[in-house]
Amino acid sequence: MKVCIVGAGAIGGFLGTRLAASGAAEVSVLARGSTLAALRTHGWRLLQNGALLTTPAHASDSATELGVQDVVFIAVKGPALPSLAPALKPLIGPDTLVVPAMNGVPWWFSGTIPALGDAPLESVDPGGHTAQAIPLPQVIGCVIHASTATSEPGLTTHRIGQGLIVGEAAGGASERVRRLGEVLARAGFEVTCSPRVRYDIWYKLWGNMTANPVSALTGATMDRILDDDLVRKFCTDAMREAAAIGEKIGCGVNQTPDDRHVITRKLGAFKTSMLQDAEAGRMIELDSIVGAAREIGQRVGVPTPTIDALFGLTRLFGRVHGLYPPAAAPTSRSSGDPT
């Protein structure tokens, strides 16, 4: 099986190193800049359990050079995908599986939910460019339950978790998902082939939609967030709104926010991916994690005052610190405007 990893950051490095080192697939990677240079010099590198796992990497910045793949894992930051997606076409043949290994709500999420209509989610796929470049029938949904980080280009650290959930975007079971699951299992992942991967995506979002932006805003680890009564209540209110949205789109969550808080608190003082990005000066993935939930809520008629506040505050934080695109400049100004 020919597998290409698009983007060799924390998640891409985790997937690529494991797959390449296992021999379960013929692995290549599409990368650029300092990450590409590091991969060409050092190969794949993954620090786990105190040991460094290394293996040669077939790395390129040209999708045409790498050619058509059996599986393409997309592991780039959400904001980068709409402009990148058309350039991935040389990797994608008629039978290629495209697996977005990304945070939050993916571009394809609304594709088969009647309540959301036919329009793309502007928060994650403005103008629908990604949907036009990547055929929905070739998409395999993916949820990753693992904590990883990059300390330098091309070097990934794995902290906790081995879980991968994969499933047909349209739902149900399939032979192609089963085969993909077998390859991933050979690379040491704990794989679940899910008939309801859209629910699995929403459930993870429900659990971390508040944790990520609150941690970025405050600089706090999750234990401190959940130990503050007022902040925990704020998170609970947002989770209740997200649960109400889930009910409208066939992704109802049976767990209570308090139940989820207990589970998360057991993980201790960990930093969310958004806090890691903020500390490193990287763009934050706010739209796919909070903006998409807000947009879906608007489409199905669920009020989201807490989610709105969370989005607005984090968006402003991001703009002030250069971590989120600036607001569009006003097109005109009244002559009587004192500013």
Question: In the predicted model, what is the mean pLDDT of residues 105-114?
Answer: 88
pLDDT of residue 279: 95
Q: What is the pLDDT of residues 70-88, one digit of tens each?
A: 999 999 998 899 999 999 9
pLDDT at 335 over 70: no
Task: Choose the catalytic residue: 77, 204, 233, 271.
Answer: 204
| CA–CA separation, 213 and 220 (whole Å) | 10
Q: Is the pLDDT of residue 202 over 80?
A: yes
Residue 104's alpha-carbon distances to 39, 250, 298, in angstroms, are: 27, 17, 17
The answer to whether 204 is a known catalytic residue is yes
pLDDT computed for residue 211 by the predictor: 95
SS3 160: strand
- Mean pLDDT of the 227-234 span: 98
**DSSP assignment of 30-58:** E--HHHHHHHHHH-EEEEETTEEEEE--E
Mean pLDDT of 258-273: 92
How confident is residue 331, by pLDDT bands cut at 50, 70 and 90? Answer: low
Residue 45 backbone phi and psi in degrees, to 5: -140, 125
Mean pLDDT rounded to a whole number for the chain: 94
Is the model's pLDDT at 334 over the cut of 50?
Answer: no
Q: What's the first-to-final CA gap in the chain, in angstroms?
A: 61
> Which domains, ranges and CATH numbers included, belong to the chain?
2-195 (3.40.50.720), 203-320 (1.10.1040.10)
State the pLDDT at residue 249: 95
> pTM score, two decimals?
0.93
pLDDT at 113: 85
